Amino acid sequence: MLLTPLPSLGRASAARIVYHYSLLNPASSVMQLRLSHDFRIDTALLQLQFERGVADVGQLRRQGRCITVILPRDFDFANPVAHQWAHRVLCGVLRTEAKRILPAKVSTFARQYGLRYNRVVIKDVSTRWGSCSSLGNINLSLWLLLVPEDLVDYVVKHELAHLNEMNHGPRFWAEVDRMTGGPGTGKALERRMKAFARTLSRVR
């Protein structure tokens, strides 16, 4: 078990804060992230929860893939400043875990399918799950850690397929199918991804 101190709440604007994240594209899927004491992430890649604390300073408790954010004493998510602090802590945890998990997946699948990429970049993006640049960079959203692992794998393979086909034409989908199980599997996974994103209107 590892305990890590968290930064204090400090000073922040008292303006009301509402968080919206569009994880596929603005037209199709918007996730409104509302944090509370009951907030949970429970996937094959990550388990995270908030816990009421008794100290003045928050802490992170890590046990394997299970992470607990121990909140400062008398923490109130209804306070916009406190909510912003919790959101920043959550983003920091997701970024750290995404940097540990996602590049390893890219490396594994690239070797498996004989593909070469430049580097992996983890971003807090609000428009898409991932992208592939003309330089061969694979960009992935840290919010992928909210997604079931088989769909995370699909996103990684989708972006790797762009190394050979920088479009969404028939040859691109044939490349995705090659990596995901055969004809039609790529578009079936894409439909599942979009359907899952629509369920993320509220995350608990």
Blockwise average pLDDT, block size 10, the chain, 204 residues: 64 30 32 81 94 93 92 93 91 94 98 97 87 96 94 97 96 97 96 86 44
Could you give the number of structural domains in the chain? 2
Are 108 and 197 in the same domain? yes
Q: Which of 21, 57, 12 is nearest to 147 (CA)?
A: 21
| Same domain? 76 vs 106 | no
Structural domain span for residue 79: 2-98
pLDDT at residue number 34: 84
Q: Are 73 and 53 in contact (CB under 8 A)?
A: yes
SS3 of residue 58 by DSSP:
coil
Give the pTM: 0.82
- Is the domain of 116 the same as that of 195? yes
Q: Which of the listed residues 40, 66, 98 is the one where a domain comes to its end? A: 98
pLDDT value, residue 17: 26
| Token duo for residue 1 | 């078990």
Tell how far CA 179 is from the center of its chain.
22
Domain stop point among 98, 119, 142: 98
User: Of 53, 80, 98, which residue constitutes the final position of a domain?
Assistant: 98
pLDDT score for 181: 95
Q: Which residue has the tokens 């875990």?
A: 97
pLDDT for the residue 4 = 66
pLDDT at 53: 94
Residues 13 and 81 placed together within one structural domain of the fold: yes
